Every structure is written in C-alpha cells, then in structure tokens.
Amino acid sequence: MSLNKLKELIFRRANGLCEYCKSPANISPQPFAIEHIIPKSKNGETNEENLALSCQGCNNYKYNKINGLDSLTGETVDLFNPRKQEWIENFKWSDDVLEMIGITTTGRVTIDELKLNRIELQNLRNLLANAGKHPPK
C-alpha cells in the first residue's frame, strides 16, 4: 500500500479525530500526524495496525512513550492503544464534557502522559460543545 493510501486509510478510520483527545482535524490550525503507536525507536513498524491519527499536541506529548506511572496504583501501565483497545472502555467525559476521565489505569496514565486535559483542549471542547459538536459521536 502506498504511503498516501495508508494515510487516507488512517484518517478515515479515525473519522478525522485525534485518536487520543478526540479533537477534530478539520478545525485544527496545525496538521494532524500519522503517529506510530509503538514508536519506531522501540521497533514499531510502519503498518496500519501500528499507526494512529494524532493532533500535534498529543503527538508531541506522546513522543516515544509507550507507558507511564499510574498515580493511584504506582504501577507502570501501557498507554492507550487505539488499535487494540476501545476508547469508551478506558475514558469518559466529565459532566460538562470539558475533561476526559480515565476509568482504567490505562486511561489515567494516558491522560497524564499526553496531557489530555490541557487548557487548550478544554477551551476547544467548550467551543465545540456550545456549537453542538462535542462530544463526538
């Protein structure tokens, strides 16, 4: 599969949303990245099972991380893998839909490591919620 076809597949599969913070690519001031879930530096392959659509912020915070320390249990836990795990099984929205809440150790660690409740995302979620476009379906 050509690189362009692979990028199109990843974008369509993600419905144009960052697979971590759920921000929409179509209103982002920065282009989204096709990121390696298992980084190339950790022997991750460039194939559709190891690639995810990511906003620039999530991609930057994730960098080459694959796990992190859970603040509640002290355990080292793998980050959320959108190819092997369901978002809804690891995260939920706060009542005001401005913050992501980790409902598993994976969810909590991913929120902490990728800064999924950074103020810029909360501001975007607030604007989108007021326009009836958040949370995403």
Name the pTM for this structure.
0.96
Identify whether 135 is part of a domain: no
Confirm whether 137 is domain-assigned.
Answer: no
| CA 79/CA 84 separation, integer angstroms | 11
Where in the sequence is the domain holding 45, given as residue range(s)? Answer: 3-130
Cα 122 to the center of its chain, rounded Å = 14
Specify the number of domains making up the chain.
1
77: β partners = 68
CA distances from 47 to 4, 112, 122 (A): 12, 27, 32
In the chain, the N- to C-terminal Cα span, in Å, equals: 29
In tens, the pLDDT along 1-31 reads 788 999 999 999 999 999 999 999 999 999 9
- Please write the tens of the pLDDT for every residue from 50-100: 999 999 999 999 999 999 999 999 999 999 999 999 999 999 999 999 999
